[in-house]
Structure 1
Amino acid sequence: MSTRPVRVLIADDESLVRAGLHAIVAAEPDLSVVGEAATGAEAVERVRELRPDVVLMDVRMPDLNGIEATARVLRDSPDPPKVLVVTTFENDEYVYDALRAGAHGFLLKRARADDMVHAIRTVARGDSLLFPAAIRDLALAHCPERTHNAELRTRIARLTPREQEILRLITAGLANTEIAERTALGPETVKTHVARVLAKLGVRDRTQAVIAAYESGFATTGRGRADGWG
């Protein structure tokens, strides 16, 4: 039985970038480009019309930037697509704001074609695209200690010790199978714990959980660490 290709919308104000992304996506038998947009406002409209599964969203576009376009798409669509932010620089201040707005991950425009394709497939199946080191560095720049979110601190403090451990491992970028190996828990038990962590934090996915961990101060911004509160 054949599986429907993943439907992709490409939103970028540069025609050459759109053409390059289009060629990469269209070359894969399990992916399909259903449309393009040159502005954030057009992206919102095209999502409404075409109902794509994944949107490749440039963050710096005229008319409406990718941050607000992402927020509108996820807020207004009855069955919202997955959004992958596409950017030139990994430390772009817009990237962090787009992730906070609900983007499922981000890609660099200079990324290899196979990495882009892998990213699209990853978010299409419902997984977040996590780059722990990059998110840590973004958090370091955008959520200094003096701005730690008190509400998020309270939510994390209400997690059980096991759930806090799971959150630390999510923040370190571990997948469920890796968490299971690290904690000696069964995969289904890990899946249940992850779902409870997301629910208690009031976030939609693992990327949002990582951001919450940093913005609360639960995860440190020291390089290579995600310590949590002792």
Structure 2
Amino acid sequence: MVIERRIRVLIVDDHSIVRRGIAFMLSTQPDMEVVGEAADGREAVQKVLALKPHVVLMDLSMPQGLDGIAAAEEIKDQFPEVKVIVLTMYDEDVYLCRLLRNGVEGFLLKQTAGENLIQAIRQVMNGDYWFESELPKEIVDEMKQRPEPENCDEDAVILTEREREVLVFLARGYQNREVAKELNISVKTVENHKANMMRKLGVSTVRELIEYGRRNRLLDLYR
């Protein structure tokens, strides 16, 4: 009897409950097996070397160590044969060009992953790609074929989901204490998130933070 090769998958996400949910879903597929999990980008690179997966499912926004883009770029540089599908909560076209330029095969929204993830894995393993984006397919196809460096935002910075939430409330005019109440966190934590965002973006005012959010469509989801 001939046993077909199963698709070996590594799941990378800083939330253990997300990793478990994806692992359970993939465990129902006879042609797939989860060979490991990682909680950040640096661990992901190490586990690709140790476990030799065929596909890496990579969360885009991770607060510690390498973020999803940097980890994906490093994996594709060291292990070009490994397929990488980036998972994100947001339709972030600002990062799409960089992902395409570095050979990533997939860009998938978490909210539709339940419907599309399994199909996306099989599709990239067949040599195709899967990109969910508001951009027309023709433009994505062209970017895939010719992702010119000048068209990529090399300065795009990934904010964590909590930082995005804080940024959204700041854009609505909330003060630190009001943001803290809405998110059920301390005022000090709000201040730390603001400081981290300013450090990442190289800005010094809340106004500049909000402008970055608007310019990169990070506030669109909450309109």
TM normalised by structure 2 equals 0.59
Could you say what secondary structure the match of 1:35 adopts? strand
Aligned residues: 150
What aligned pairs does 1:55-134 form with structure 2 within 5 A after superposition? 55-61=56-62, 62-77=64-79, 80-91=81-92, 93-131=94-132, 134=134
Structure 2 residue ranges without an equivalent (≥5):
153-223
State the 1:63 CA deviation.
0.4
2:39 maps to what in 1?
Answer: 38
Whole-Å Cα distance in 2 between the matches of residues 54 and 211 of structure 1?
A: 22
Q: Given that residues 108 and 130 in structure 2 are in contact (C-alpha distance below 8 angstroms), is that contact kept between their aligned partners in structure 1?
A: no
- Identify if the C-alpha distance between structure 1 residues 46 and 2 changes in structure 2 by more than 3 Å, giving closer, same or farther: same
User: 1:173, CA displacement in angstroms?
Assistant: 7.0
Unaligned 5+ segments in structure 1 are 137-169, 175-205, 217-230
Partner secondary structure for residue 126 of structure 1: coil
Instruction: Provide Cα deviations, 1:82-113, integer angstroms capped at 9, x if missing partner.
Output: 00000001126445433333211211111152
Change (3 A) 1:94 1:60: farther
Q: Is the aligned partner of 1:171 residue 2:138?
A: yes
Provide the identity percentage. Answer: 38
Aligned partner of 1:184 in structure 2 is none
Residues 172-213 of structure 1 show CA distances to partners (whole Å, capped at 9, x for unaligned) of 678xxxxxxxxxxxxxxxxxxxxxxxxxxxxxxx7621645x
TM-score norm. by structure 1 comes to: 0.58
Alignment of 1:139-178 (within 5 A): 171=138
SS in structure 2 of the partner of residue 134 of structure 1: coil
Aligned to 1:53: 54
Determine the C-alpha separation between the residues in 2 that align with 1:172 and 1:94. 14
Q: CA RMSD in A?
A: 2.7
1:215 equivalent to 2:151? Answer yes
C-alpha change, 1:117 and 1:64, in structure 2 (3 Å) is: same
Q: Distance in 1 between matches of 2:131 and 2:93?
A: 16
